Chain A
Amino acid sequence: MEVRDVQTWFPVKTGLFGRTSRYIKAVDRVSLQINSGEIVALVGESGCGKSTLGNSIAGLLPIRGGNILFKGNSALKGHHLQREIFQNKVQLIFQDPYSSLNPKHTIYEILSFPLLYHNICTRAEVGEYIAFLLQQVGMSADCINRYPHSFSGGQRQRISIARAIGMKPDLMICDEIVSSLDVSIQAQIVELLLELRNKLGLALLFIAHDLSLVRTLSDRLYVMYLGKIVESGKTAEVLSGPMHPYTRALVQSVPTLDRTRPPVILEGEVPSFSNLPQGCAFQTRCPNRSSQCLQDPETSKVDNREVSCFHPVVSKT
């Protein structure tokens, strides 16, 4: 999938007649690419726009500008995604395992409904196919007559994954799917995703804020700050040698098991979307800031690494 200069803006309506006074540019000219069988991570802290981007790509939010191409075909018409172009090949899994499964349906109903509705298989085949899907995600087939509430968070996420892979997707968008799970269960789900990628050739867009997990799972990485991509490249390279000052600050704030390297504090808070500075959004907290940063930073591309900064960090951390 290729995302080109996508913009998702939320209008702020004020006044008696609800006139749009300005826009929250939650996603502002973002471009990214996901190749077949690749696991791409989109990281950033809360409010950076990564979930908005995930929802926009999946067609849940109107897109104001830019384009989304799936297998070379343009999927955008006006502001709306033409989901037929995706043909169910793009699936979305959400963060909260407690609200993404209908509590009134059994697991059988939850899994069979989309399969039958989209004619993925016939009614005669669906039982066997569901058993197969559950086995793929490490769940036993005898859970089909139970309801979501009898399963743990980790098990529900497995069921959501089964539901998604049942559609035989080419791309799965995972929006913070392990963030609310215990660490040992997070590890299990990550292992499952890697297995599914290897077995099914699935591509993944993994939206997360946990850099340590992203390093284990993803091949490439995009870092987002206030609606824009500030850096991208191969995960191992970006995390071992971050070039954008924000990426570096992020990497340095993560606590590790190495007590000789305490987290480095990045002062200040994220400015609000309605109060963005002129030019680079990170300048209010950036140690490398200069007067040049009042202009929109240019993106430099070197060897599959991209950085949007006038003063990128050059030495390795």
Chain B
Amino acid sequence: METFSTPENIDGCVLRVSDLSIGIDRPGQMLQLTDHVSFVLNEGEIHGLIGESGCGKSITSLAIMGMLPEPGGTLISGSVCFRNKDVYSLDEPELNGLRGAKISMIFQEPFSAMNPLIRVGDQMLEVFEYHRTDFDRHQKIRDLLKEVGLSDHARILNSYPHELSGGMLQRIMIAMSLLLDPEVLIADEPTTALDVTVQAQIMSLVVRLCKERKMSVLLISHNISLMAQYADRISVMYAGQIVESNETGRFLSHPMHPYSKGLMRAIPSLDREDKRIIPIPGQVPEPAKYGSGCRFRERCPEATPQCQVPPPEKNHEQEGRYLCHY
């Protein structure tokens, strides 16, 4: 395992994911979905994890909470440490104490994350069911609704999810995730299903809460512009591996990995002079077909025969960490 001399290694580290390799046990084989994934979340930091579908970002976020898919989800190697405690060494009651309370999560589709048959107020109260609290739960709910910008709490608590808009539901989800004052918030594509004006409102709320509460946020998205605006550090995930990781400003000015460079060319951005985009040819390989060697080589414009050999991880002050021969 590499030790990094980058700012990732300072105290104030809340969550450390080290060489996380997760697999799914399928008949006849173990399908490895992530390969030595490592990153660190510091206090009060927003860490952006960029990746497209199939890269393993969602399973990584579940693994952080000790929620490997069943049946068959396996921790092949590596660890997840929350405040220096290994998540996978905890027993069930300790894990319950962790989930929702220390590490909380919000999802892409607020409508599907909530039970359509139960009023919002009751669903918020449900959060407390597995956790002991010694404060006034109803007051806490009202306080949090106010914190996320929802003032009409009587009406909201009495409503069913379908009676509220996407933006309001996402605010409620955020409020719910904060009820137990977590130290880490995992936000998995939190604004993908929302309109751009609502997205701006929700993201500004998340940033404010993060700074006010010194909470760490793992922001997972395929939207690089979103990361550019809101993340302090960026890690890029491709085919189960972290292919690049750096402080956001440095990443944007000089992305090192060919996939990162490809993504930057393929996405349109209103601020760019040139409106043209250059797609990355081909498709993401399937886990069963990763093979050895660099996983991006089939689509890489800079690939050479050398890329059949697994690429080394490079680690520099300015350029950050990246996985490439060149």
Residues of A at the B interface (CB closer than 8 Å) are: 45-46, 152, 154, 182-185, 187-188, 190-191, 209-213, 215-216, 236, 239, 249-251, 253-259, 261-267, 269
Q: Which residues of A contact B200 (CB under 8 A)?
A: 253, 255, 263-266
Does B6 sit at the interface, judged by CB under 8 A?
no
Does B266 sit at the interface, judged by CB under 8 A?
yes
User: Is the CB–CB distance between A215 and B196 below 8 Å?
Assistant: no
26 A-B residue pairings within 8 Å (CB atoms): A45-B195, A45-B198, A46-B195, A152-B283, A182-B222, A183-B222, A184-B52, A187-B266, A187-B279, A215-B275, A216-B276, A254-B196, A255-B199, A255-B200, A255-B225, A256-B225, A256-B269, A257-B228, A257-B252, A257-B272, A259-B252, A261-B271, A265-B200, A265-B204, A269-B167, A269-B168
Q: Which of B17-70 contact A (CB under 8 A)?
A: 52-53
Q: Which residues of A contact B272 (CB under 8 A)?
A: 256-257
Q: Which residues of A contact B248 (CB under 8 A)?
A: 259
CB distance from B200 to the nearest CB of A (A): 4
Which 3 pairs between the two chains have the least Cβ-Cβ distance? A187-B279, A45-B195, A182-B52
CB distance from A129 to the nearest CB of B (A): 26
Does B151 sit at the interface, judged by CB under 8 A?
no
Partner of A265, one of B201, B252, B270, B279: B201
CB distance from B74 to the nearest CB of A (A): 26
User: Is the CB–CB distance between A216 and B53 below 8 Å?
Assistant: no
Q: Which of B128-187 contact A (CB under 8 A)?
A: 165-168
User: Is the CB–CB distance between A211 and B270 below 8 Å?
Assistant: yes
> Contact mask B214-232 → A, CB, 8 Å, 1/0?
0000000011111011100
User: Is the CB–CB distance between A253 and B196 below 8 Å?
Assistant: yes
Does B197 sit at the interface, judged by CB under 8 A?
yes
User: Is the CB–CB distance between A257 and B279 below 8 Å?
Assistant: no
Q: Which residues of B contact A215 (CB under 8 A)?
A: 268, 270, 275
Partner of A183, one of B196, B199, B203, B224: B224
Q: Which residues of B contact A256 (CB under 8 A)?
A: 225, 228-229, 269-272
Partner of A187, one of B53, B223, B230, B277: B277
Residue of A nearest to B227 (CB): A255
CB distance from B149 to the nearest CB of A (A): 10
Q: Which residues of A contact B223 (CB under 8 A)?
A: 183, 255
Interface contact tally, CB-CB below 8 A? 122
User: Is the CB–CB distance between A257 and B269 below 8 Å?
Assistant: yes
Does B262 sit at the interface, judged by CB under 8 A?
yes
> Contact mask B245-276 → A, CB, 8 Å, 1/0?
00011001000000000111011111110011
User: Is the CB–CB distance between B165 and A263 below 8 Å?
Assistant: no
| Contact residues of B: prevailing secondary structure | helix
CB distance from A307 to the nearest CB of B (A): 19
User: Is the CB–CB distance between B278 and A187 below 8 Å?
Assistant: yes
Contact of A259 with B196 at beta-carbon distance under 8 Å, contacts A183-B52, A184-B279, A254-B270 already known: no
Q: How far is the CA of A266 from the CA of B204 in the complex (A)?
A: 11
User: Is the CB–CB distance between A213 and B268 below 8 Å?
Assistant: yes
Q: Which residues of A contact B90 (CB under 8 A)?
A: none
Q: How far is the CA of A265 from the CA of B168 in the complex (A)?
A: 16
User: Is the CB–CB distance between A188 and B195 below 8 Å?
Assistant: no
Q: How far is the CA of A212 from the CA of B228 in the complex (A)?
A: 15
CB distance from B12 to the nearest CB of A (A): 23
Q: Which residues of B contact A266 (CB under 8 A)?
A: 197, 200-201
Does B125 sit at the interface, judged by CB under 8 A?
no
User: Is the CB–CB distance between A45 and B279 below 8 Å?
Assistant: no
Contact of A212 with B165 at beta-carbon distance under 8 Å, contacts A183-B222, A266-B200 already known: no
CB distance from A230 to the nearest CB of B (A): 14
User: Is the CB–CB distance between B224 and A249 below 8 Å?
Assistant: no
Interface centre among A188, A253, A257, by most B CB within 10 Å? A257
Residue of B nearest to A261 (CB): B271
Q: How far is the CA of A211 from the CA of B195 in the complex (A)?
A: 11
User: Is the CB–CB distance between B228 and A269 below 8 Å?
Assistant: no
